[in-house]
């Protein structure tokens, strides 16, 4: 009988359940998880959605683009910081003076027959940032010269859950100035700096 009592005494005893203690323990675990685990980006998007946006943009370049913009900054495809930069450039230039932000930002042209995509590769840098390298032509195949092919690298950033164009780099295009910045944002900033140093009329 004494041996049985000794065995029972040696066995690990369970602590009676305490609802308050359990709730505190769960709260502590949840708090540590919130602090230690990395934040999950919201509105994660993929390359397919980025490609769909660009395809939709290119459809604005219909036949007979002479005298009108293919992609206007007011449509909503561009990042708010880029739109703000363009507005600053136009205000700095003043009325009657062309500004870098007043031209068409995608094709960097004034006339076109259409937007003919030759190749488009979209890669995800992060769930909130994508890069698209697009080769295209703006003249119909039957009238197209050999040097009409153009290539741009478009940076897309998620803003309020939607892809927006953050920058455009002109990698290859005919009749371009080799000394000009490749980045559209850099071109606009250079324009703003130029007008900032001009005498006020």
Q: Do 138 and 192 belong to one domain? A: yes
- For the segment 125-148, the average pLDDT, to the nearest whole number, is 90
Q: Do 130 and 151 belong to one domain? A: yes
Band of pLDDT at residue 141, cut at 50, 70 and 90: confident
User: Is 42 part of any domain?
Assistant: no
pTM greater than the 0.85 cutoff: no
Mean pLDDT of the chain: 74
Q: Residue 93 belongs to what domain range?
A: 47-196
User: Is 201 part of any domain?
Assistant: no
- Residue 86 has a CB neighbour count (10 Å cut-off) of 22
Phi and psi, residue 165, nearest 5°: -75, 120
Band of pLDDT at residue 133, cut at 50, 70 and 90: very high
Q: Do 23 and 105 belong to one domain? A: no
CATH of the domain at 108: 3.10.450.540
DSSP string spanning the chain?
-HHHHHHHHHSPPPPPP-HHHHHHHHHHHHHHHHHHSPPPPSS---HHHHHHHHHHHHTT--S--TTS-SS-TTSS-B-HHHHHHHHHHHHHH-TTS--GGGS-TTT--S--S--EEEEEEEEEEETTEEEEEEEEESS-GGG--GGG-EEEEEEEEEETTEEEEEEEEEEE-TT--TTS-SBHHHHHHHHHHHHHTSPP-
Q: Do 31 and 52 belong to one domain? A: no
Considering its fold, how many domains does the chain have in total? 2
Q: Do 53 and 29 belong to one domain? A: no
Q: Inform me whether the pLDDT recorded for 17 exceeds 80.
A: no
Which among 152, 154, 187, 170 has a CA at the least distance from the CA of 78? Answer: 154
- For the segment 182-187, the average pLDDT, to the nearest whole number, is 91
Band of pLDDT at residue 63, cut at 50, 70 and 90: low
Q: Do 15 and 69 belong to one domain? A: no
């Amino acid at each position: 009988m004494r041996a049985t009592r000794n065995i029972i005494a040696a066995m690990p005893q369970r602590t009676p359940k305490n609802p308050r203690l359990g709730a505190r323990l769960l709260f502590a675990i949840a708090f540590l998880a919130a602090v230690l685990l990395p934040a999950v980006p919201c509105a994660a998007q993929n390359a397919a959605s980025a490609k769909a946006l660009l395809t939709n943009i290119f459809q604005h370049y219909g036949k007979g683009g002479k005298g009108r913009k293919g992609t206007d900054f007011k449509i909503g495809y561009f990042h708010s910081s880029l739109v703000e930069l363009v507005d600053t450039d136009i205000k700095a230039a003043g009325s009657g003076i062309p500004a870098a932000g007043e031209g068409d930002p995608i094709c960097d042209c004034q006339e076109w027959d259409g937007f003919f995509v030759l190749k488009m590769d979209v890669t995800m840098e992060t769930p909130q940032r994508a890069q698209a390298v697009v080769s295209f032509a703006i003249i119909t195949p039957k009238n197209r010269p050999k040097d009409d092919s153009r290539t741009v690298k478009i940076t897309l950033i998620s803003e309020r859950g939607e892809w927006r164009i953050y920058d455009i780099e002109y990698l290859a295009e005919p009749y371009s100035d080799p000394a000009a910045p490749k980045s559209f944002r850099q071109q606009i900033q250079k324009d703003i700096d130029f007008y900032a140093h001009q005498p006020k009329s």
